[in-house]
Amino acid sequence: MNLVELRNLKKVYENGTVALRGINLEVKKGEFLGVMGPSGSGKSTLLHIIGGLDKPSEGEVRVFGRDISSMSEDELAELRRRRIAYIFQFYYLLEDFTVLENLTIIGELLGIKEPKKKALEILSFLRLSHRINHKPYQLSGGEQQRVAIGRALMVEPFLILADEPTGNVDSKEGEKIFNLFKDMNQRGITFIVATHNEELRPFFSRIVYLRDGQIIQEE
Ligand code: ADP
Ligand code: MG
């Protein structure tokens, strides 16, 4: 089953910048797809559009079999809330709250049962149990990114979109994060990861290479 289907996807920003020039791509359930290419090649734009954070100028975007251009704002919000999670280069944690609270707040917003129990399970999986009462500034970059991953897991997503998730951590932490992604992938979560870090290539089940808003190669 295709989780994501893109047909002739184009994006021209208001200032005239052409960011995507006709992308065709299918992503199957269970894939661990890498989107690679130099800075400015359109990776972030592609992820934003797949996640419904931005709209294409032309072309078709189907997510979970549905054309997102036909979805109402409510349906898009629901898609973002429950089924697709984002992990960014900058973690966007709530600085005044503890690690545990950063996760439980998401659970409370979503109205899930026993958010604290769930948060504790996830933090244990992420090997952060010893950090639950710390605040973000007390953690290393890698630990902060793992908290952000935990926050993404709280929504029980089918699809995780990660944009340069290891952009601010050293290569050892980067590998740790990717090993966690692999574990999560084996538990059934599909991944689309944008990165220009060549060291991470061996992790992907498939890679598409972008250049100037076009897919120039697949492997
Ligand atoms: P990448 O993530 O591969 O670095 P981006 O998708 O961020 O690439 O950018 C693709 C192109 O679109 C670049 O030329 C970038 O400058 C441009 N761009 C990105 N966001 C915007 C925006 N909000 N407005 C105008 N141009 C943008
Ligand atoms: Mg980018």
**Per the structure, how many domains does the chain have?**
1
Residues 6 or more apart whose Cβ sits within 8 Å of residue 21: 10, 212, 213, 214
**CB-CB contact of 146 with 178 (8 Å):** no
Q: Does some domain include residue 131? A: yes
> Cα(189)–Cα(207) distance, rounded to whole angstroms?
17
Q: Is residue 39 part of a domain?
A: no
E-state strands within 13-80? 18-28, 32-36, 58-63, 66-67
Integer angstrom CA distances of residue 115 from 17, 88, 93, 197: 43, 23, 17, 35
Question: How many angstroms separate the alpha carbon of residue 114 from the centre of ligand 1?
Answer: 40
Give distance in angstroms: CA of 63 to centre of ligand 1.
Answer: 22
Residue range 136-166, pLDDT digits in tens: 999 999 999 999 999 999 988 999 999 999 9
Tens digit of pLDDT per residue, the chain (219 long)?
Answer: 899 999 999 999 999 999 999 999 999 999 999 999 999 999 999 999 998 888 899 999 999 888 887 788 888 887 777 789 999 888 889 999 999 999 999 999 888 889 999 999 999 999 999 999 999 999 999 999 999 999 999 988 999 999 999 988 888 888 889 999 999 999 999 999 999 888 889 999 999 999 999 999 888
Residues 30-57: pLDDT tens digits?
A: 999 999 999 999 999 999 999 888 889 9
| Cα 166 → chain centroid | 12
CA distance 68 to 157: 17
Q: Residue 106 falls within a domain, yes or no?
A: yes
Range of the domain at 125: 93-156
Of 11, 44, 49, 57, the one to substitute when testing ligand 1's pocket (max ligand atoms within 8 A of C-beta) is: 44
Q: Is residue 101 part of a domain?
A: yes
Nearest CA to ligand 1 atom 20: 45
Judge whether 134 lies within some domain: yes
Distance, CA 42 to ligand 1 centroid (Å)? 6
Flag whether 173 is in a domain: no
